[in-house]
Amino acid sequence: MPNRYGNVRFFGCSDHADLSQGVAMRLGVEMEKSNVGKFANSETTVEIGASVRGDDVFILGSGSGDVNDNLMEMLIMINACKHASAARVTAILPNYPYARQDKKDRSRAPITAKLVANMLTVAGADHVITMDLHASQIQGFFDVPVDNLYAEAAIEKYIREEIPDFGDAVVVSPDAGGAKRVTSLADRLNVDFALIHKERKKANEVASMVLVGEVEGKTAILVDDMADTCGTLCMAVEKLYEAGAKDVYAAITHAILSGPAIDRINKSQLVGLIVTNSCAHEEKKKLCAKLRTIDIAPILAEAVRRTHNGESISYLFNHVPA
């Protein structure tokens, strides 16, 4: 695929090899070799295994797992390609790390999402591709172009094809902050929506929940951008069944699934947890039969192709590549 940025060179960080291979396969390119190692003191070292001089480099890292090590690997790889005279370096981070620390919501709180943006830019990233940012204003933290893709079209397609009687469903936001996301999906499906107001005592711990909307006798579909320990999610599931919901599903973009998450999902009355593979979760899937995966490799591959060819990305906001 030659153009003014040269040939596409696609690299994958070590945190999500399956997704990287899937994107490379969809693009019809070989994934370039890179050697990632550790010094005795745990410093990360990266060696690029191919010439990238004058080329259009894309580096995919999921932004999940061991976040700090994986982010550092991404930064070093970007910097290595930049110093190797790449024409352009695009960082692909489907799950943007530290996205929840996006504002100063208490005294002396850091805005770490801005810090990560600075680090990516200083490392040499000329462009960033991400998906379902926790807060869309994170795009404004960058001085380089950012494309925030959406999993909404892929989730809508899955719901239409896999959830029985979806036309009589209610799309539910587990918090007020996700109202815009939920109303958009409800409009696409032509169904009602509801939301749950929650009060937190501290991070990852919810004090109380109040349901706003009607779910009695209907299938409820909880929609959120990420699921970490799944405490809030499972409390929301209980609340919906108490309100008379017939079945409860959840559709989550980033399945972080830390700590007790899998155990909580297995013990909950959740019928199915629909997630994308923005975060690696193959091992967790073996422990939880409720996990159902939507592959985002076609979306990311099409974003890479359009970026390389100078085409519009906005088509992907409402369409799923075939």
Per residue in 93-133, pLDDT (tens digit) is 999 999 999 999 889 999 999 999 999 999 999 999 999 99
- Only one residue has tokens 């981070």, namely 93
3-state secondary structure of 292: strand
For residues 244 and 215, the answer to whether their CB atoms sit within 8 Å is yes
Q: What's the first-to-final CA gap in the chain, in angstroms?
A: 20
Compute the distance between CA of residue 96 and CA of residue 132 in angstroms, rounded to an integer.
9
Strands 192-202 and 205-212: antiparallel
Average pLDDT, the chain: 93
**Two tokens at 240?**
């919906």
Collapsed DSSP state (helix, strand, coil) of residue 319: coil
206 has pLDDT over 90: no
For residue 1, the model assigns a pLDDT of 45
Encoded tokens for 111: 């805005």
β-pairing, 205-212 vs 56-60, is: unpaired
Confidence of residue 200 (pLDDT cuts 50, 70, 90): low
Question: For 276-292, what is the mean pLDDT?
Answer: 94
Q: What is the mean pLDDT of residues 287-301?
A: 96
Q: Which stretches does DSSP call E strand in 5-133?
A: 8-12, 34-38, 44-48, 56-60, 88-93, 127-131
Please give the model's pTM, rounded to 2 decimal places.
0.93
Strand-strand pairing, 56-60 and 88-93: parallel
> Which structure tokens are listed for 310?
């100078």
Q: Residues 226-260: pLDDT tens digits?
A: 999 999 899 999 999 999 999 999 999 999 999 99
Alpha helices in 124-274 (DSSP H): 152-162, 179-189, 231-242, 261-267
**pLDDT tens track for 8-50:** 999 999 999 999 999 999 999 999 999 999 999 999 999 999 9
Which letter, b or e, does each residue of 179-195 get, where b requires 16 or more Cβ atoms within 10 Å of its Cβ? eebbebbbebbebebbb
Q: Is 54 left (phi over 0), alpha (psi -120 to 50) or beta?
A: left
Residue 2: the pLDDT is 46
Is the separation of the CB atoms in 321 and 299 below 8 Å?
yes
